[in-house]
Amino acid sequence: MYFEQKVNYRSCKATRIPMKNQRLIHFTKMEGCGNDFIVVFNPSAGAANALIRKAPSLCDRRTGIGADGLVFVGYSSMCDFSMRIINADGSEAEMCGNGLRCLGRYIRQNKLIDQDLIAVATKAAPVGVEMANEYIRVNMNAPRLSGSEIPVEKDADPIINEPVTIDDREFLVTAVSMGNPHAVIFAHELTDDLVLNWGRRLESHPFFPRRTNVEFVKVHSPHEISMRVFERGVGETMACGTGACASVVAAVLNEKVHDFATVHLRGGDVTVNWDGDREQPVFLAGPARQVFTGTVRI
């Protein structure tokens, strides 16, 4: 038995949504080791501000496009290109290693410049991006190791195995800035409790006045580590390029690895080179690819 309902479709009126103040923005979804971004090329100031306001909804993985953040690619008067990185919560980050690799892949596949090495202006500092092969290699500049530059609430240089306490639990933190702040903690095992519970709490600990990215690192050998990360303004991500760099820098400072290491992330592997000289740059190399393209109305 069933009920049949007759509908007079002629009596139904559609609701028209005003569109005069809305516009379509083209985007490219890209990822590097699972760290994914909504990449927008050369947005106007108004469009960029609208996208930033909508970042939490755009990055939502159930009701939006889904991403760890937004990447704005533009031209620069100082460098070849510029990059802005917006976290999923709408805050702006100073630097993003995986975002830079995605930027490099985007520029190469869209043939925006006919050269393999480009300079990119970021909020932290200009960086070099090399696109000569399958991997994208980034010169991430020299690490910053003094407390005031990272920053942390301690005037020391460097910050190695600094005790940071939450409730009754003490963590030994090696702090590094790769243009953005990182707290690296070495662990025997990388558990959900460490990352999702303690990482979340350490991110906003008063020791880090601008909050921090928190990396938990397991050392396998002098040239191999694993890392999980709770990213500032995002949560746990599949990968973090600056976090991989900071982890290797911290491991070198603690004499746990030598001058290069493969870093195993949840979304894949990257390689990081740093010779231990604080005046010398850190190099990050890894894959990046396009996932899909589309448009969004703002």
**Secondary structure of the chain as H, E, C letters:** CCCCCCCCHHHCCCCCCCCCCCCEEEEEEEEECCEEEEEEECCCHHHHHHHHHCHHHHHCCCCCCCCCEEEEEEECCCCCEEEEEEECCCCEECCCHHHHHHHHHHHHHCCCCCCCEEEEECCCCCEEEECCCCCEEEECCCCECCCCCCCCCCCCCCEEEEEEEECCEEEEEEEEECCCEEEEEECCCCCHHHHHHHHHHHHCCCCCCCCCEEEEEEEEECCEEEEEEEECCCEEECCCHHHHHHHHHHHHHCCCCCCEEEEEECCEEEEEECCCCCCCCCEEEECCEEEEEEEEEC
Is 240 in the active site?
Answer: yes
Instruction: Give the total residue count for the chain.
Output: 298
- The answer to whether residues 283 and 275 touch, using CB atoms and an 8 Å cutoff, is no
The catalytic residue among 33, 96, 102, 245 is: 96
The catalytic residue among 33, 59, 102, 240 is: 240
Sign of CA dihedral 244, 39, 34, 268: negative
Is 245 in the active site?
Answer: no
The residues carrying an active-site annotation are 96, 240
